[in-house]
Amino acid sequence: MAGLDIVPLTEDRIMLRSFSSTIVLSGQFVARSLPLLLPCLDGNHDLDDLKAFVDPDYHPELDALLRQLEEKGFLTTGRREATSPIRNGREQAYWAVQTASTADVARRLAKASVIVAGLGGVGATVATALAAAGVGQLTLVDPCIVAEMDVGFGFGTNEVGEARAVALAARLGDSAVRAEGLNIGIDAVSDWSALVAGAGHVVLCSDTMALAGHDRTNAACLAARTPWLSVRADRGSALIGPYVIPGESACFTCFELRNRINSDHPADHEAMTAHWKSIAPTAEPWPALGAFTAAVGQMVALDLIHVIGGARLSAALGRVIHLSPAVFNARHHEVLKLPRCPACSRLRERPMTRIWDIVASPSVDSPALAASE
């Protein structure tokens, strides 16, 4: 039983508390046999083993206890895997209470391939956390050199002067994590579509509002059906999402066009968006705190780890999360698919329909229909 608190209440009463349930047990069986039994509920003992620890007079109570613990979700039947590929014991315990099998989670993470582009404070944190969780393949994309201002934002003083992607890949790669660093921007990568097609997820990160590479990534991911996520941090707030599942959710173009349509000043909004797409990752000091970019990056990594591990869907699926860590506040903006989106709609090649070309079907109350009857 993983993630369990055992709280003695009285001599013959104890409380068992897991992450999702609480149960109180009492009686002579609890007082005499349960203390010997609990350490054996580790997934490595079958029913016959457990009965050997209990007086035969209490076997009916043992059977009832095991049924009750299983119904409450405190334990599952079957032997635990002898070893787990997840290296950290605390993480093994975490996945044990989140999913049916830690081994399945470990296999998903080890087989996962993630591209992280933009290695400022946010992106470097995302990549580091994914590697620590056991993601097997990381491709790191960034055109910048480690500067003094990057120290404390995912890089150390010994890495100043090195390419950010190469330095981080060298630090994260080991026998379990294959890390490759590409010292180049997305729009300059000649085989970006091929890279995206070979990945399971793509994450574009920025410590500013820059949108460089977003259009190319959106198109490549839609073509390859590769899920991807946009993350931008701007001084004291962040925009996480949308997480795009091609063919299912709204794409980034849907989000961008709906934003422009709903803007009070569409022309100004379009000009600002064009500016964000044109600027490269900043090489100049930009207002940010290392704790802030690290917090955003850790939240993004946590979300992706749950998605890759099979625990749940992304919190940013079909939405943008407006995050303000300084006040621990988050707002959600739902992003709906644009019916005739020029990037992801199946009808994008068809000419637009004019409203006056649509002929309404006659209703049952139509005079013409009534006359014909």
Q: What is the pLDDT of residues 2-21, one digit of tens each?
A: 556 778 788 778 887 766 67
Percent of the chain with pLDDT over 70: 81
Token output for 72: 């409450």
- Cα 322 from Cα 330, distance rounded (Å): 5
pTM above 0.85, yes or no: no
| Cβ neighbours of residue 101 closer than 8 Å, sequence gap 6 or more | 81
Token output for 45: 């003992």
Least confident window among 171-175, 195-199, 218-222: 171-175
DSSP state for residue 192 in the 8-state scheme? H
Residue 372 has what pLDDT? 43
Task: Dihedral sign for Cα 190, 284, 233, 166, please.
Answer: positive
pLDDT of 164-186, one tens digit each? 999 999 999 987 899 999 999 99
8 Å CB contact between 283 and 119:
no
Look at residues 55, 47, 56, 115 and name the one whose alpha carbon lies nearest to residue 75: 47
CB atoms within 10 A of CB 159: 19
8 Å CB contact between 219 and 185:
no
pLDDT of 366 over the 80 cut: no
Residue 19 has what pLDDT? 63
Averaged confidence pLDDT in the chain: 82
Query: Cα–Cα distances in Å, from 130 out to 112, 115, 160?
Result: 10, 11, 23
* Highest-confidence segment of 64-78, 83-97, 215-229, 231-245: 215-229
Q: What is the DSSP string of 236-299?
A: TEEEEEEEE-TTTS--HHHHHHHHHHH-SSHHHHHHHHHHHHHPPSP-S--S--HHHHHHHHHH
- Cα 239 from Cα 262, distance rounded (Å): 18
Question: What's the whole-number mean pLDDT along residues 323-334?
Answer: 83
pLDDT of 267 over the 60 cut: yes
pLDDT of 34-58, one tens digit each? 777 777 766 677 777 777 777 787 7
pLDDT of 358 over the 60 cut: no
- Cα 241 from Cα 259, distance rounded (Å): 13
Least confident window among 63-72, 129-138, 194-203, 229-238: 63-72
pLDDT of 224 over the 80 cut: yes
Q: Is 19 helix (H, G, I), strand (E, B) or coil?
A: coil
pLDDT band, residue 370 (cuts 50/70/90): very low
pLDDT of 53-85, one tens digit each? 777 877 888 788 777 777 766 665 554 444 445
Percent of the chain with pLDDT over 90: 41
Residue 105 has what pLDDT? 86
Rg of the Cα trace of the chain?
Answer: 27
Task: Dihedral sign for Cα 204, 209, 210, 216, please.
Answer: positive
Q: Scan for tokens 């056991």, then name that residue.
A: 134
Residue 348 has what pLDDT? 64
pLDDT of 364 over the 50 cut: no
pLDDT of 223 over the 70 cut: yes
- Cα 208 from Cα 281, distance rounded (Å): 8
pLDDT of 369 over the 50 cut: no
Angle subtended at Cα 228 by Cα 223 and Cα 211, rounded to the nearest 5 degrees: 95
pLDDT of 97-139, one tens digit each? 666 677 888 889 999 999 999 999 999 999 999 999 999 999 9
CB atoms within 10 A of CB 111: 12
- Cα 132 from Cα 6, distance rounded (Å): 30
CA dihedral 297, 298, 299, 305 (to 10 degrees): 110
pLDDT of 275-317, one tens digit each? 888 876 665 677 888 889 999 999 999 999 999 998 789 999 9
